[in-house]
């Protein structure tokens, strides 16, 4: 080493360059799980305030036949036949034309209905609504400006109290012969 010139020194070992420190990647959930969560949220149907899903029949759709189901239904198109939603709500939209008998828990009419309506809980006819047919329900609401032609029967079958003679109107009690004791 002492006798060598600087250009003759051993060039096989390069000068030491410190390696840059790279931070490890952040720990996250796998991309496939995140994508699955996002797509599931995006595909959820709209929900009503009670949390149940509402199906919708759009304004350009026309159905002839029977509609049955176990979810709330909003009709904006036209239906001819029968709509049976036993324990659910039917909403007849402002542009809807329904020519059908309806059986549901609740019926709200903004559009036009020709047919008999039977609701376990209530029937509402909004101010621009039109119903031609007989109504059977426990509760009824008809707004000012609504059109209704038919009969109304208040059916409170949910009452636990047994029916007695006092439940009859006065004229019916008077016509009933008194029992002899």
pLDDT digits (tens, 9 = 90+) for 47-81: 444 556 789 999 999 999 999 999 999 999 999 99
Q: Which backbone phi and psi does 157 adopt, to 5 degrees?
A: -70, -15
| 45 occurs within a structural domain | no
Residue 26's pLDDT is what? 53
- What are the pLDDT digits (tens) for 81-122? 999 998 999 999 999 999 999 999 999 999 999 999 999 999
The residue that leads in pLDDT, 165 or 116, is 116
Mean pLDDT of the 137-162 span: 84
| 36 occurs within a structural domain | no
Range of the domain at 58: 54-152
The count of domains in the chain is: 1
pLDDT surpasses 70 at 162: no
Q: What is the mean pLDDT of the chain?
A: 76
| CA dist., res. 50 & res. 172, Å (int) | 42
Share of the chain above pLDDT 90, in %: 55
- 22 Cα distance to chain centroid: 53
| 90 occurs within a structural domain | yes
| 138 occurs within a structural domain | yes
**What value, to the nearest 5°, has the Cα angle with vertex 96 and ends 94 and 99?**
135
| 132 occurs within a structural domain | yes
| 46 occurs within a structural domain | no
| 26 occurs within a structural domain | no
Please return the burial class of 99, using the count of CB atoms within 10 Å of its CB with bins 0-12, 13-18 and 19+.
middle
| 19 occurs within a structural domain | no
pTM: 0.61
């Amino acid at each position: 080493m002492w006798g060598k010139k600087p250009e003759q020194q051993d060039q096989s070992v390069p000068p030491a360059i410190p390696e840059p420190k790279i931070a490890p990647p952040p720990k996250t959930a796998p991309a496939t799980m995140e994508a699955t969560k996002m797509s599931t949220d995006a595909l959820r149907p709209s929900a009503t305030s009670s949390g149940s899903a509402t199906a919708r029949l759009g304004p350009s759709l026309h159905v002839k036949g029977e509609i049955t189901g176990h979810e709330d239904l909003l009709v904006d198109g036209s239906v001819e036949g029968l709509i049976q939603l036993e324990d659910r709500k039917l909403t007849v939209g402002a542009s809807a034309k329904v020519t059908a008998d309806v059986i549901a828990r609740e019926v709200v009419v903004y559009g036009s209905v020709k047919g008999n309506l039977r609701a376990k809980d209530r029937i509402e006819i909004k101010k621009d609504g039109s119903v031609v047919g007989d109504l059977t329900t426990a509760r009824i609401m008809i707004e000012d400006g609504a059109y209704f032609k038919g009969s109304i029967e208040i059916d409170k079958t949910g009452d636990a109290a047994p029916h007695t003679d006092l439940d009859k109107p006065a004229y019916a009690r008077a016509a009933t012969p008194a029992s002899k004791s």
